[in-house]
Amino acid sequence: MDHSIESAPLEKLQSQCLLVGIHENQVLSPTAQALDARYNGLISRLMDRGDIKGKVGETLLINNLPDGGIERLILIGFGPRGELNRKQFRKALAAAGKTLKDTKVSAASCALLDVAVEHADTAWLTRQIVEMFNDSAYQYNATKKIDDPVALQALAIVAGDADRHAVETGLNQGIAIASGIEFCKRLADLPGNLCTPSYLAEQAIVLAGEHDKLSCEILEEHQMEALGMAALLSVSRGSRQPAKLICLNYQGGGDAKPIVLVGKGLTFDAGGISLKPGLGMDEMKYDMCGGASVLGILRAATRMNLPLNLVGLIPASENLPDGNANKPGDILTSMAGKTIEVLNTDAEGRLILCDTLTYAKRYSPEVVIDMATLTGACIVALGRVPSGLFGNDDALCNDLLAASETACDPLWRMPIWDDYAEQLKSNFADLANIGGPDGGSITAAVFLSKFTEDYRWAHIDIAGTAWRTGTHKGATGRPVALLSQYLIDRATT
Ligand code: BES
Ligand code: MN
Ligand code: ZN
Residue 225 — left, alpha, or beta (φ > 0 → left; ψ -120 to 50 → alpha)? alpha
Give yes or no for residue 349 CB within 6 A of ligand 1. Answer: yes
- Tell me the C-alpha distance between 135 and 113, whole Å: 19
How far, in Å, are 142, 188, 287, 466 from residue 283 at the CA level?
Answer: 17, 10, 8, 11
* The CA-based dihedral angle spanning residues 400, 402, 408, 413, taken in that order and rounded to the nearest 10 degrees: 60
Q: Which atom of ligand 1 lies at the shortest distance from residue 287's CA?
A: 1
CB 435 within 8 A of CB 340: no
Give yes or no for residue 347 CB within 6 A of ligand 1. Answer: yes
pTM of the model: 0.98
Other CB atoms closer than 10 Å to residue 293's CB: what's the count? Answer: 37
Catalytic residue at 276? yes
Determine the CATH number of domain 2-178.
3.40.220.10
Architecture of domain 190-491: 3-Layer(aba) Sandwich (3.40)
Distance of alpha carbon 396 from its chain centroid, rounded?
A: 19
pLDDT on residue 67: 82
Indicate where the chain has its CATH 3.40.220.10 domain(s): 2-178
Q: Which atom of ligand 1 lies at the shortest distance from residue 377's CA?
A: 21
What radius of gyration do the chain's Cα atoms show? 24
pLDDT on residue 464: 98
Distance of alpha carbon 238 from its chain centroid, rounded?
A: 29
Distance of alpha carbon 472 from its chain centroid, rounded?
A: 17
Indicate where the chain has its CATH 3.40.630.10 domain(s): 190-491
- 3-class state of residue 30 by DSSP: helix
All residue ranges of the chain with pLDDT < 50 are none
Catalytic residue at 350? yes
Average pLDDT, rounded, for the chain: 98
- Tell me the C-alpha distance between 167 and 387, whole Å: 30
The continuous run of DSSP H or E covering 73 comes out as: strand 73-77
- Tell me the C-alpha distance between 10 and 91, whole Å: 26
pLDDT on residue 463: 99
Give yes or no for residue 163 CB within 6 A of ligand 1. Answer: no
Q: Give 319-330 as a DSSP string.
A: E---TTS--TT-
pLDDT on residue 122: 98
Q: Please report which residue ranges of 190-244 form alpha helices under DSSP H.
A: 197-208, 221-227, 230-236
pLDDT on residue 493: 75
pLDDT on residue 98: 97
